[in-house]
Structure 1
Amino acid sequence: MIEKEGFAALVLRLRAEGVTDLDLLTAFEQTPRTQFVPPQFASDAYSSRTIPIDCGSFMEGADLAAKILSKLQVRPGHRVLEIGTGSGFTAAVIGRIAERVLSLERYRTLVTAAQIRMDALGLRNIIIRQMDGSSGLHGEGTFDRILVTAAFSAMPRFYADQLVSGGSMVAPLILEDERCMMVRLTKTGSRFEREDLFPVPYLPLASHIAQHL
């Protein structure tokens, strides 16, 4: 019941925000958020509230997750790289649209839990690895889309060679005035065109694998 009512209320809020991508909304509907949040927060699964998860990480509210994914513009056939698996929810939604998702996470606890959820949902095209994703992923070819869920303090130009021509990445960027802005960077030639999307509350990007969590 939470699932159906929560999703219906979310769709109404998203329409008011101009998010109407049918593929995305269908993927959202097919990915039960209550299975990704800690049990005590099940009633907030479809709210706009940020939800704490293990290892000091958090899930963005359902509205923000949908807004970010709508700006990522994933299409069938795409290869997508995600930096910061967290609960695995965004990877699961992307995986219902894209051909292949590679998701990197620092914390072993989160990797293990997210993998269990993917297996339970039968999502075989999503690969989760425990890795330091602060400089992306080399040696896996190029991606059509890259999503980063922790904030950069400077334009991450080194990602340009990990994107196909015309590909784009969506990532939080800390601006000069300390505000954090979600930006879309589209690769044209060897450079990025930057488009500022909306302000977001995000943690700075941390490098290295966390050894004990």
Structure 2
Amino acid sequence: MDVRLLEKEGFAGLFMRLRAEGLADKPLLAALEQTPRTLFVSAAHADAAYQDRLLPIDCGGFAESADLVARLLSLLSLEPGQRFLDVGTGSGFLAAVAARMVERVVTVDRYKTLVQLAQQRFAHLGIGNVIARQADGLKGMSGEGAFDRIIATCAFDSMPRAFVEQLASGGVMLAPILAEDGRARMARLTKIGSRFEREDLFEVPYRPFIPGLAAAL
């Protein structure tokens, strides 16, 4: 099928599913529409780019569905002028969508290959306000100043308290936290003073953090 047709039909299906969920954030929907999902998955999976399921990417990783990306970004209430940290670049799709809504995005991944592929995709789309770096995201990105919004797409063993200092006052972080049964649940952490106010949300498919940089990839 023609890629443009795939995009048009795929986004139409996504739009209908999100609307049925009650997600009607116009800037977010516009950002999704402007970010061709097929560019962020392999050609072999292009016809599944908009399906509500995980898709394999390089380095043994996976891309979460556009549905989940939309749901997560809507929970962060993104606005122009914000600084955004994305821990776990993956395909780069989430960072690309967020970049259309905020002032600056810093995205980090332990895999050099994923960072380079994401950089190529951002350049292809003319998205110039994303900085992609290979880094160990387990402790965030110190030295970058405070972020208004942070999202992690790898699961923490416990509350990621190290990130409190990297959030601006009133800032929000979405962090998957592992439960005793090994499953990850997304938590919305709002910075109040020098601590987090925690709100547990829903189960997410993210894997546990692997500390350090990947040696070969």
Bin for the TM-score computed over the shorter chain: over 0.9
- Letter aligned with residue 25 of structure 2: D
Match 1:152 to one of 133, 138, 156: 156
TM-score (norm 2): 0.96
Instruction: Mark the runs of 5 or more structure 2 residues left unpaired by the alignment.
Output: none
Aligned to 2:91: 87
Q: CA deviation at 1:176?
A: 2.8
Residues 1:114 and 2:118 are matched in the alignment: yes
Give CA-to-partner distance per residue, 1:193-213, whole Å, 9 cap, x none: 111111111100111010211
Q: CA deviation at 1:177?
A: 3.4
Aligned to 1:10: 14
Match 1:60 to one of 57, 64, 68: 64
- Give RMSD over aligned pairs: 0.8
Q: CA deviation at 1:179?
A: 2.7
Aligned to 1:135: 139
Residues 1:198 and 2:202 are matched in the alignment: yes
Aligned to 1:29: 33
Q: Distance in 1 between matches of 2:184 and 2:86?
A: 19
Q: Distance in 2 between matches of 1:60 and 1:35?
A: 14
Q: Distance in 1 between matches of 2:170 and 2:144?
A: 18
Aligned to 1:209: 213
Q: Distance in 2 between matches of 1:64 and 1:198?
A: 11
Q: Distance in 2 between matches of 1:33 and 1:177?
A: 33
Give CA-to-partner distance per residue, 1:48-103, whole Å, 9 cap, x none: 01000000110001211111111122111000011010111000000000100000
Give the 3-state SS of the residue equivalent to 1:127 in structure 2.
strand
Q: Distance in 1 between matches of 2:20 and 2:197?
A: 28
- Letter aligned with residue 60 of structure 1: E
Q: Distance in 1 between matches of 2:70 and 2:49?
A: 13
Q: Distance in 1 between matches of 2:44 and 2:160?
A: 37
Residues 1:41 and 2:55 are matched in the alignment: no
Which aligned segments of 4 or more residues in structure 1 are displaced greater than 2 angstroms? 176-179
Q: Distance in 2 between matches of 1:63 and 1:140?
A: 30
Give the 3-state SS of the residue equivalent to 2:138 in structure 1.
coil
Give the 3-state SS of the residue equivalent to 1:168 in structure 2.
strand
TM-score (norm 1): 0.98
Q: Distance in 2 between matches of 1:8 and 1:19?
A: 14
Q: CA deviation at 1:113?
A: 0.6
Counting aligned pairs with the same residue, the percent is: 57
- Letter aligned with residue 167 of structure 1: G
Give the 3-state SS of the residue equivalent to 2:139 in structure 1.
coil
Q: Distance in 1 between matches of 2:48 and 2:194?
A: 42
Number of residue pairs the alignment of both structures matches: 213
Match 1:102 to one of 99, 103, 106: 106
- Letter aligned with residue 53 of structure 1: I
- Letter aligned with residue 185 of structure 1: L
Q: Distance in 2 between matches of 1:9 and 1:144?
A: 31
Q: CA deviation at 1:12?
A: 0.7
